[in-house]
Amino acid sequence: MEIGISILDICDDTKLQELNKLDYKYLHLDIMDGQFVKNTTPPFSLIKQKVDIINKKIDIHLMVQDVFKYIDEYSILKPDNITFHIEVKQDINKLIDKIHSLGISVGLSIKPNTDINTLIPYINKIDLVLIMSVEPGLGGQKFLTNTSNKLKQLIDLKNKYQANFKIEIDGGINPDNIKYIKDTDIIVVGSYITKSSDYKNSLDKIKEAIYDSNYK
């Protein structure tokens, strides 16, 4: 299980530098437009300043209506992944093709109340599925334990269609609930780490929980 850390709550460069020294794989960027979700992300220029401080692979989660616009803007950061929501009112296939044409892996994200079967037309075209374990757009929410059911459904679909995407889960993750999602490829941790007084200690507790979940 790989770890991504969502850093948009952090504004202090010293804190970002502290986070950069830790051992995790992905810098996870939640990009919000105030339309698809209520919150908005700071301007691109400020996001880029944060990215320049943290030397990790970039995993972008677009919670936006106009996905095409944000692909063009955020592809400049040369991310490993760009994930957008299946619930957007745009041509999903064209969006997938656009991101792939830039040499970037494509993810589809799904809200807690969206039927997992809506992914079926696309699961052999994408590289990642992001299951939201909270309603998107607001940090610090409580993890939805029924996410484990959605994860199982997605794994069943993956096996049925012989698909090859990674599974990522984001929202309210902490050491107590990792046991519910132990078959996940990537977890995104936000507030549990970024609002703690000791980033390394909090990350170590996440890693311990991942290790323990492998033997239960």
> What is the reported pLDDT for 199?
96
Categorize the per-residue pLDDT at 216 as very low, low, confident or very high, splitting at 50, 70 and 90: low
102 contacts: CB under 8 Å, gap ≥ 6: 71, 75
201 contacts: CB under 8 Å, gap ≥ 6: none
Categorize the per-residue pLDDT at 10 as very low, low, confident or very high, splitting at 50, 70 and 90: confident
29 contacts: CB under 8 Å, gap ≥ 6: 6, 7, 8, 47, 51, 58, 59, 60, 61, 74, 77, 79
Tell me: the pLDDT tens digits for 139-185? 667 999 999 999 999 999 999 999 999 999 999 999 999 999 999 99
Residues 10, 15, 18, 20: is their CA dihedral positive or negative? positive
> What is the reported pLDDT for 186?
98
pTM over 0.85, yes/no: yes
Catalytic residues: 30, 170
Listed in sequence order, the DSSP H helices in 30-91 are 44-53, 67-74
d(CA 148, CA 206): 18
CA distances from 63 to 29, 86, 133 (A): 10, 10, 14
Distance of CA 178 to the CA centre of its chain: 15
Average pLDDT, rounded, for the chain = 94
User: What's the CATH fold of domain 2-213?
Assistant: TIM Barrel (3.20.20)
> What is the reported pLDDT for 214?
78
Tell me: the pLDDT tens digits for 21-65? 999 999 999 999 999 998 999 999 999 999 999 999 999 999 999
Tell me: the pLDDT tens digits for 62-90? 999 999 999 999 999 999 999 999 999 99
First to last CA, the chain: 15
